[in-house]
Amino acid sequence: MSPSATGARLRGYWLTLAGPTEDGALAAGPAFGRVHEDMLLQAPLSLAGYRQPHVLPAVALVVGDLPPHATPGLARTAVAGIFAAVELADGGPGRDGRRARGEMAEDPRPASFLYGETLLPDSTFEEELRLTQDGRFLAAFRVADLGDPGALLAWLATAVDGLRAGQVAFLSAPAGPAAPTGGTLMVAGSRGSMLIARIGE
């Protein structure tokens, strides 16, 4: 596994829809980037060091080995576990902390991720996941809005020359970052809460 500049080992990738180009047109291809060990968070979360913290709902897919040019069907069978997740990014002046357009993002301040421990069913892909903080609505996300999860994983496997068993693919909301404050974050779906995490200022 490739280490980061700090020596942290590669744990997976994040993947979302690319944002608009400078002329307002939609970019071709998803946006994605590496997730290293030091980008995985544990609760309670901290906003220390973030100038403009943004939080988004996401889904974490733990995968098995998946070669480049795999079919979407094969990619779906490679999913070993589905978990609710949140993404914490620093927008900062004039940027949102992680987005790239159709290519690998090499942002000096990438996003970080926390994912839950509750194994979720495949039907999670079709659900609306709602992110709230102390009951206040922050954002909503449906994996299906990104497209077919199998096709996305197959695309990612080709883009990164294959996925390795145990790596995590974070599929997250493409837009609408919400500004968190101190309190308790909850990601919930039709079956109730899927992830709960305390966040401090």
| DSSP class of 46 | E
pLDDT digits (tens, 9 = 90+) for 138-163: 988 888 888 899 999 999 999 999 99
Q: Which CATH architecture has domain 10-19+28-200?
A: Alpha-Beta Complex (3.90)
Q: Which residue in this structure is represented by tokens 């493409």?
A: 174
pLDDT digits (tens, 9 = 90+) for 45-62: 888 878 888 888 999 999
pLDDT of 144? 86
d(CA 82, CA 79): 7
pLDDT of 180? 80
By 3-state DSSP, what share of the chain in percent is helix, strand and coil, each rounded to 5? 15, 40, 45
Q: How confident is the model at residue 23 (pLDDT cuts 50, 70, 90)?
A: very low
pLDDT of 178? 74
Higher pLDDT, 31 or 133: 133
3-state class (DSSP) for residue 72 = helix
Residues 6+ apart with CB under 8 A from 147: none
Mean per-residue pLDDT of the chain: 82
CB 55 within 8 A of CB 87: yes
Q: What mean pLDDT do residues 54-71 have?
A: 94
pLDDT of 94? 41
Return the percentage of the chain with pLDDT > 90, whole number.
Answer: 48
Q: What predicted TM-score, i.e. pTM, was given to this entire model?
A: 0.84
Q: Spell out the domain ranges in the chain.
A: 10-19+28-200
pLDDT of 109? 41
pLDDT of 13? 95
Higher pLDDT, 40 or 90: 40
